[in-house]
Amino acid sequence: MKIIISILIFQFLFHIQIKAQDPLHIKNRNLPCVERKFHLYIHLVSDSLGNINITESDILKQLEIANQAFKPICISFDYCKIDTVLDHSFFHINDDEEIDLLMSRFQKKRRINLYYTGSVLDENINSYSYESGILNENSGVIIVPLSGKGLIHELGHTFGLLHIFETKFGAEKADGSNCAVSGDLICDTPAAPYVLPNETCTFTSKLKDINGDFYRSEIGNYMSHFFCAHCFFTTEQYERMVENYLASSIKMW
């Protein structure tokens, strides 16, 4: 009788545990789990009137959205401190020299530094980060507009992801046959040309690859430039981010 009761209790607890798990975690149950919370150092750049047009509540909401995106690999983000940059010349970042100057004055080492400004470089993209920024103690920099647009995209770069339309290793063929050595070096993202979204946030392109095949694209992938449609990373992208973090000799706080 004691054995039967023990079995029933085990089955009940197991059932409760399964029901309590997040569906996304179950779907990606084979992904590695880092179990790490990163405490970002946040810098708010004031406008020409000295105003800071973002609240702590706004920031926490944006971080929570990022947390959901990184939840399948057990990575989350919070902040350790928020400071104010009272030099409005940085409210509109126009070139790399201004980014270097901003960092030389305000960057905190061994942290992911998140800067909120009015605009960043390109009006279409309007965000910035260092590729594989987690690998160096002073390269954890992300700059986004007050809306937070591009935050998850730039976190992807920080953890080592490339654009799905990357070409520095050569253009990926539309059929993906050279995916391991070209494009973004990841095979479960489609080969994609560099195309910006239209007013309806749809992908339209007549570009063809070297074989004359048309490209398709996953506009919802965080590493596209379709910020209007972003909603997912792929399994191999998650795995790459974990690999890059574990391989880094510098562990951001």
pLDDT in tens, 55-101: 999 999 999 999 999 999 999 999 999 999 999 999 999 999 999 99
The pair of three-digit structure tokens given for residue 152, joined into one six-digit string: 């998850």
Band the pLDDT of 203: cuts 50, 70, 90: confident
| % of the chain residues with pLDDT over 90 | 75
pLDDT attached to residue 249: 84
**121 vs 110: CA distance, rounded Å:** 25
Q: Which of 27-31, 66-70, 229-233 has the lowest mean pLDDT?
A: 27-31
pLDDT attached to residue 32: 94
Q: Tell me: pLDDT of 1 over 60.
A: no
Band the pLDDT of 12: cuts 50, 70, 90: very low
Mean pLDDT for the chain overall: 88
pLDDT attached to residue 29: 61
